[in-house]
Every structure is written in structure tokens, then in C-alpha cells.
Structure 1
Amino acid sequence: MTITPANSAPDRGSSSEPMAKEPVSRAAGLLPTDPVLRRAALLTLVNSLGNGLYFPLGILYFTRIVGLDATSVGLGMTCAGLVGVAAGVPAGRAADRWGARRVAALLWAGTGVATAAYVLVHTYVGFLVAVVCATGLQMASRGVQGALYAEVLPVATRVESRAYLRMVTNVAMGLGGLFGAVALQVDTREAYTTVIVLNAVSFAGPALLIPGLPLAAHALDRPALGDDAPAGDRWRAVRDLPYLTVTVLNAVLVVQYTLAEVGLPLWIVERTDAPRWTAALLMIVNCALVALLQVPVARRFSQVHSAVRAMGWSGLLLAVACAVYALSAGLSPVWAVVALTAGAVVHVLAEVLSAAGGWTLGYALADARVHGVYQGVFGAGMSAGMMAGPALVTITAIGHGSAGWAALGLLFAAAGLAVGPAVRWAGRDDWRGEGG
């Protein structure tokens, strides 16, 4: 489905960029062929290594080293997440106004400074200030990064490039996590603070390179929508009901990430006879398969009609995964591991499909002149889905066993299948342009 805007400037990538869709990476070594993607991959690699380092020990630093109460830390992180969700759309508007490269660089640099401030935290008030700033800035940057990729990556390979960057993220996070586990085993203040500083540098360092990313041809051709434009045009995304509907449905599917990170470890420990190391096994399976599958899957689902199919299949596969996870309760340890692993494989297929479909629709249904606000809305929806995920998974699957898994599976299936009607609704607006 291709819809050309009638009253807004189309994305002219089709006239100034090659129509042929070439792979973004080489078969040998998986090196990107696009120099812009190579630089973006370097930024992603450095930042993801830092995030992976910090991920295993973040909460433990504040509880074990600083001495804060775990419940209070969790509440503070929730508040910080809410700030991040609320900041997503204004940050996107700033990207439209001053350029996504400049705003992304400022947000990353600010995140690095705020993260470094963790080493100075000694009180709960200090923790709140630091975590709200760091988490809020990082979450606000999610939509801005989407707008950044819209500006610097060619339209024809944008979704595949996002998939490549996600592969880099998974591999780097895994490697960083290994070294983070070493710091966790050392378990000293010096080990924790070293990891925190390295994570801060992983934001602040790459931020210096972001402004040097060159604009793609279609972004150079596209006229900007400045502050003199009507407010209704500048903030169109917040009243675009079809786009908001797709955003909400995508947010429901995003709950699958916290299902893997939070729900499954709890389920394994509390409801099955599988050994506890099964949670680590499932995470390894997830990271490995995402790294292998995300790029080729994205290559096949980078058009609107195929993205709709991907989202529908994702919802159905998530429902199947939920059913398989539920079956693991009551099985012997060996068979419980087998069932959980099988469910994780189905889960990964759903994950790579929904990621590819979400990227495609998030760009294709947006007004190309105000990608910042649109990607801010879409990113805020993803953030909200990940924030709501732990509570939703706990209330359903962990709280009610098989019945809860069934309810969660039905929710995923309904959300995935509803994407088609929502996109058809969006298609009735004649100003949208696929590829913007």
C-alpha cells in the first residue's frame, strides 16, 4: 500500500536515492556497506556495551552500596519512567524544530552526565534527582533516535538498517553483561562505580559523533515545518487517532519484552520445577536468535502491507508462546526446560516480526515533515508498554497461572490482528506518504 500525500511535501527519496534495495551488511563479517550506517553502528556498539555493563548491577548499586530501600528505589525508577514517557513528544518537537542530530546529541550527552552523577549519590533525594534526569533523558531520546534515523538513513533500507542496529545492540549488550557480571562478583564500591562511569562515557562519547552524521538526500529535499506553521500541523501526531491507535497496539505487543525479562524468571522460580539457570538459558536463546533473524526478517517486512502481516503473526505467535509457557508448570525439570525453550523460540519469532512491523508502520504512517513529534509519540507508546509490562505480566500469568497466560495470549493476539484495521483507517487520510 502506497499513499501519496496530497497537501504536504512528500519524501522525495524515490527521486534522489536508488530505488534498488541492497542489503545493508556484507555476508562476510556483517560489515555495513553504508558509511552512515557504519558510524551509527559504532555509536550503537559503544552505547550498548555500556548499557550491558550496567544492566546486571544497576539496582544492586543503589541498594547494596548506597544503602537505599529496594521498594523506594523501584518507586523512584517508576517515577523516572513516567517523566521519560511524558518528555518523549516535546523532545520529538524539539527534533523537528532544531534537528534530530542536534537534539539527539544533547540528550545523549545529558544522559551521560546524569548517569555519572550516580557515583555522587548518598541520599534518596540525590538518587531521585539523578535517576529522573538520567532515565527521563534516555527515554525521551527514544523517539528522537527514530527521527534521527529518518533523517540520515535512506528510505529504501531504513527498516533493514534499524534491524542491523538492533542486532548490534543485542550482541553488545550480551558482551557488556558478561563483564558486568564480573563486577557484580567482585561486589565492591570501586567495581560498581567503574561500571557506572564507563556507562556514562558510552553515552557522552558517542554524542560527540552524532552531529557529524550526514543527512540523507530525501531529508535535504524535504522542507522543514517551523514555528510559523499552524500548531495543528506541528503537533499533528497527538491528535492523529489512527496513528495513536497503531501506537497503542504496538505498545501492547511491546509488553513481550518485559514478559521475557521479568515474567519468565518469576514464572520459572515460582511456578515450575525447572532449574533457576533456565532463565539465563532463555535469555541467551533470545539474544542469539534475534541477532541471527532480525535483519533478514526486517528485509521481508519493510512495506506497509507486509508489516501489517508481521504484526498479526506476531500477536498470534505470542499467544502460542504464552500457551507453551503455561504448559511448563507441573512438568518434570527436564521437560519443563524443553517446554520453556520451545516457548522462547516461538517468542523470538514474534519479537523480530513485531519489531520489523513496528518500525515500518511507525515511519510509513507519519507525516514526513514532523517525524520528530510522530516518532516521539511512537517512542512514548513503547516506553509506556514497557513500563506497564511488569505489572500486567505479574497480575495475569504469575498471579493466575494458566488462566493468566491465556488472558495475556488473547491480549497479544487481539492487538496484533487489530493492526490491520487500524492501518486501513489511517490509509483514508490522503496526506500520508509511505517512506517519509
Structure 2
Amino acid sequence: MVMSLGQGLWMAINAIYAVTVVHLTPGQLGVSVSVAAAIVLVCSIPLGHLADRTGPRTVQMWSFLASAPLTAALLFVSGFWTYLVVVSAQAIAYRAGRSARKAMIAGLILPADRVSVLAYVRAASNVSVSIGACLAGLVLAAGSRLGYQGAVLFTAVAFLLTGALTAREPRVPPVPATAGSALAVLRDGPFLTFTILDGLLTTHALLLDVVLPLWVLRRTDAPRWMSAIILVVNTVLVVGTQTKAARGTDTPAAAARASLQGAGCVAVACVVFAMSDEAALVPACLLLVSGALAHALGEVRQAAGSWAIAFDLAPDHAQGQYQGTHAMGADLGKMFAPAVFTWLVLEHGALGWIVLAVGFAALGTAMPAVVSRGVRMRSGSDPVISTG
């Protein structure tokens, strides 16, 4: 939970740090996130395969240890190109750890309990995230360069401590090389289709991390620390509802319905955020908090559906590879979403939010049919699928 504390702090100030301290434009920030996502995209399958072959605990530990100096390096970036290099390296380290974490859960937890365990882990992590967001509110309220730099160092130390603590976790044995090739997942059409669709849907996370902090600054009369308040609302609600939201996702069809429901809530949140365009102080704050509530409800339901489908459609001998591939979907979305979302929302205001609402609703509507087709193919009704 130490890492979650640092993440909560950094998530709330990340975009504002890049714009106010590093002096990037919103467009440069969006391009940086997009390029980092593109780099990670090509690394995801090899990193997941590495977790299968060398053991996920080892990969996760070193990913955290590498993230510490990479985060501290942000203190020394002075422009777009150095920022781009650092955040790209950070993204690779983070992806290695994320794929390894899910492979560890798959190796240590029975299939029927994996989603509920992830839900409990996420709920507990969000307690720490909310504390970190509160600290971020103080940093943002002060608005000093020294405060931002202290937040960067705090996050780096959190990664370092988490890497040390990871060495004490149970060991999951590596998978023998004879279990399958490193690229077997690329022949699994249904899983790849789900990965793309789910990845586009999970771009809703960028609304809180990138879009809303800039929206608060540029298009409303709300104070800048409202971005931290929004994150607190999100994390508190996740803590209280994630385990409940994970219920009823024990089959791929039920999980697909959960994704649809989550997408609907996110679409509603976008409509509410649209109503805050150029709103006065009090109405803007109320609308932003209301939108954050709807977004959080959508997030927990969509996440539960996503986890269940990703585990159910992946063979146990290649969980690292498949979970790494599943994460590629989010990377695919991040390649275009930061720049497109910031352009839509900051340049077109309420209309941009409405376009996003329609997009998320369409993605959620398509999910049940896509997953149903994948289940039919995996059960043998369509012989073209091959997983090894």
C-alpha cells in the first residue's frame, strides 16, 4: 500500500506538474503520454512472457526498484524531449510490474476467487490513494515549485520501499519454456478483439488523470485543488463499492454485462462534466463532484468485468503473456486518447464531452456480442482459433 500512497499523490498532480513546472503545453503533455503508450505497446507481450519464464515476483520487484530513480529523474527534466524520455522509461517499468502482478494472482489464487481478490486489493489500495490525493490537495493549494518537487521525491521513495517489500511475497514458479511460444496470444483472435475493445473502453481513466485537471484550470471557475477532490471522491467510492461491484461476474457473459453497465455510467459522467463548462464556482464544483460519482460507479463495474473476461479467456500456462497483451489494449487507447481527449474537451467544451459520452456508450454496447463470440470460438464451435 506504500506504492498506492505515492500513486495517489502523483496522479493528482501529474498533469499540473508537467504544465506548470516542466512548462509543457497541454498538447505536448498529450503527445508525451501517447508516445510512451506506443513504446510500451510493443514491449507488453515480451514483458508478460518474461514474467511467465522468470517468475512474476522477480519481475514485479525489479519493476518497482527501477521506477524509483526514474521518478526522481523528473526533478531534472527541463523540456518536452527529456520529459518524453523519462515518462517512456517509467511506462515500461510500470507495465512489467502490472503484467507480473496479474500473473502472480493467477498463480497463487484459485480461478473462482481471482476477481474477488483483485477487487479487495484494489479497494485496499484506494484507501492509500485517497490519502495520497489529500496530500496532493495541499501541494496544489500551495502551488510552490518546492512542494511539487517534494511530491516527486515522495513518490520515488514509495516505489523503492514497495520493491523491497515485494521480495517477501510468495514465489510463483516460472512456467517451463515447453508450455508455449512467446507469441501464442497473437493467434488468439477472440482475445485480441476483446483486448482492443476493452482497451478503448478503459481510456475513461484518462478523464481523471489528464483531462479533468486541465478542464478545471481552463474551462471552469472551480479552484485548481478540485482535481484532488475529484480523485478523493473517486477513490473513496472505489473503496466502498469495488468488492460489491465484482459480484455477479463469474461467467464471461455476466462480466460483459458488467462492462456494458460501467460504460453507461461513464457516459453519464461525461454528460455531467459537459454541464460544468464555464459554470460559476459553486455550480462547477457540484457538477464536477456529481460527475466524479458517476465515473467512479462506472469504473468499478467496468473494471470487474474486464478482469473476469481477461482471466477467463486466458490459458493458465500463459497468464503473464495474456495479461501483458490485455494491457496492450489500454496502451492502444493511450496512444491517441490523451491528445484527442484534451483537444475535444479543451477546444470544444461541452460538445467534446458529449462526443466522448457517445463513444463510451457505443463501446460498452458492443462488449457482450464480442465476448459471446469469443466464448463460442473457445468452446470449439469455430475451429479457427488457436492458442498455441
**Shift of residue 246 of structure 1?**
1.1
* Counterpart-to-counterpart distance in 2, 1:330 and 1:69: 24
Query: Which of 24, 45, 50 is 1:70 aligned to?
Result: 24
**Shift of residue 73 of structure 1?**
7.1
Q: Deviations over 1:168-210 (max 9, x none)?
A: 2222122123334555638365x55554443223223222333
Q: Deviations over 1:339-379 (max 9, x none)?
A: 44333322221111101111111111111110111000111
Identity of matched residues, % = 32
Please name the residue that 2:384 is paired with.
none
Please name the residue that 1:134 is paired with.
90
Q: Does 1:187 align with 2:144?
A: yes
Please name the residue that 2:211 is paired with.
263
CA contact 1:51–1:176 (8 Å) conserved in 2: yes
**Shift of residue 106 of structure 1?**
1.8
Please name the residue that 1:345 is paired with.
293
CA contact 2:258–2:304 (8 Å) conserved in 1: yes
Query: Which of 95, 98, 101 is 1:145 aligned to?
Result: 101
Deviates more, 1:165-174 or 1:386-395: 386-395
CA contact 1:47–1:202 (8 Å) conserved in 2: yes
Q: Does 1:105 align with 2:56?
A: no
What is the SS of the residue equivalent to 1:427?
helix
Please name the residue that 1:374 is paired with.
322
Please name the residue that 1:320 is paired with.
268
Q: Does 1:90 align with 2:9?
A: no
* Counterpart-to-counterpart distance in 2, 1:269 and 1:120: 25
Please name the residue that 1:412 is paired with.
360
* Counterpart-to-counterpart distance in 2, 1:283 and 1:225: 39
Structure 1, unmatched stretches of 5+, are: 1-44
Corresponding letter in the other structure for 1:50: G
Q: Does 1:154 align with 2:110?
A: yes
Please name the residue that 1:13 is paired with.
none
**Shift of residue 294 of structure 1?**
0.8
Q: Output the TM-score relative to the length of structure 1.
A: 0.75
What is the SS of the residue equivalent to 1:88?
helix
Q: Where do residues 231-310 of structure 1 align in structure 2 (5 Å cutoff)?
A: 231=181, 234-268=182-216, 270-272=218-220, 278-310=226-258
CA contact 2:36–2:91 (8 Å) conserved in 1: yes
Q: Deviations over 1:316-336 (max 9, x none)?
A: 222233333334447665445
CA contact 1:84–1:137 (8 Å) conserved in 2: no
* Counterpart-to-counterpart distance in 1, 2:347 and 2:85: 33
Relative to structure 1, the CA distance from residue 257 to residue 205 in structure 2 (aligned partners, 3 Å threshold; closer, same or farther) is: same
Higher helix share: 2
CA contact 1:54–1:196 (8 Å) conserved in 2: yes
Query: Which of 145, 160, 167 is 1:204 aligned to?
Result: 160
CA contact 1:307–1:358 (8 Å) conserved in 2: yes
What is the SS of the residue equivalent to 1:399?
helix
Please name the residue that 1:361 is paired with.
309
Cα RMSD, aligned residues only: 3.3
Q: Deviations over 1:89-146 (max 9, x none)?
A: 1100101111111111122222223334445667877655544323321133222222
Computing the radius of gyration from Cα coordinates, the structure with the larger value is 1
Please name the residue that 1:389 is paired with.
337
Query: Which of 164, 177, 189 is 1:227 aligned to?
Result: 177
CA contact 2:99–2:320 (8 Å) conserved in 1: yes
**Shift of residue 307 of structure 1?**
0.9
Relative to structure 1, the CA distance from residue 78 to residue 393 in structure 2 (aligned partners, 3 Å threshold; closer, same or farther) is: closer
Q: Deviations over 1:255-289 (max 9, x none)?
A: 21112333334445555566666544433322221
Q: Output the TM-score relative to the length of structure 2.
A: 0.83
* Counterpart-to-counterpart distance in 2, 1:299 and 1:81: 31
Structure 2, unmatched stretches of 5+, are: 381-388
